[in-house]
Amino acid sequence: MKNKTTALVLSVLLGGLGVDRFYLGYVGIGVLKLLTAGCFGVLYIIDIVNIATGKLRPADGSPYEDDTCAAPAQPATNPYDDLEKLAKLHEQGVINDEEFAKMKADCLSKM
């Protein structure tokens, strides 16, 4: 897995030499950028933008290392526990009958 921050720093500092493309696994375009000074600066700018926005990914198709850490997975909730919590909220008067019926129907549809 490649790091997006590393790819972006390489692109900004050494993108004209194609180092960012070599790092991401695109050897052919890396050589082209090396021989043409980043395709005369055009591909240099395009690569910075594409790496920053996440459009340019590693050649093997894997996600960036940063992307997997960005959004932690939500723990799976048990619909039975949710129903129990709703019932307690209803008993305490936190939610009214209408809200309880709607939320209960949503929980039951998940089962």
Domain limits, the chain: 4-70, 79-109
Strand stretches in the chain, DSSP E = none
Please report the pLDDT score of residue 5 as a whole number.
Answer: 92
pLDDT per residue as tens digits for the range 24-81: 999 999 999 999 988 898 999 999 999 999 899 999 888 888 765 545 555 567 778 8
Q: Which residue has the tokens 């039951």?
A: 108
pLDDT per residue as tens digits for the range 61-77: 888 887 655 455 555 67
How many CA within 13 A on the CB side of residue 8? 13
